[in-house]
Amino acid sequence: MNIYVGNLNYDLQESDLEQVFSEYGTVESVKIIKDRDTGRGKGFGFVIMPDDEEAAAAIQELNGQDVMGRSLRVNEARPPRN
């Protein structure tokens, strides 16, 4: 399952986000979207978890959770628009 994670602290690294989600199961990949000019995180990213049950548990538990002073917004990612 592809999971959208918003309201990230701008200093949060992909390894930090992976650690947060790995408490709920296997994390296949983590991608924090970065500004192409500054290289700084834009405050959101995506986590892919192959097991849908683990992903659902992570969404349930982490939505609204405080990580590095920011309350995360976590939900299933919508498919990209064409």
Q: In total, how many domains does the chain have? A: 1
pLDDT at 60 over 90: yes
CATH number at residue 9: 3.30.70.330
pTM higher than 0.75? yes
Q: How confident is the model at residue 79 (pLDDT cuts 50, 70, 90)?
A: confident
The reported pLDDT for the residue numbered 42 is 93
Sequence-distant contacts of 63-70: CB under 8 A, at least 24 apart = 67/8, 67/9, 67/12, 67/16, 67/20, 68/9, 68/11, 68/12, 68/16, 69/9, 70/7, 70/8, 70/9
Q: Does residue 56 form part of some domain? A: yes
Q: Does residue 75 form part of some domain? A: no
4-57: per-residue pLDDT in tens? 999 999 999 999 999 999 999 999 999 999 999 988 899 999 999 999 999 999
Q: Does residue 13 form part of some domain? A: yes
The reported pLDDT for the residue numbered 40 is 87
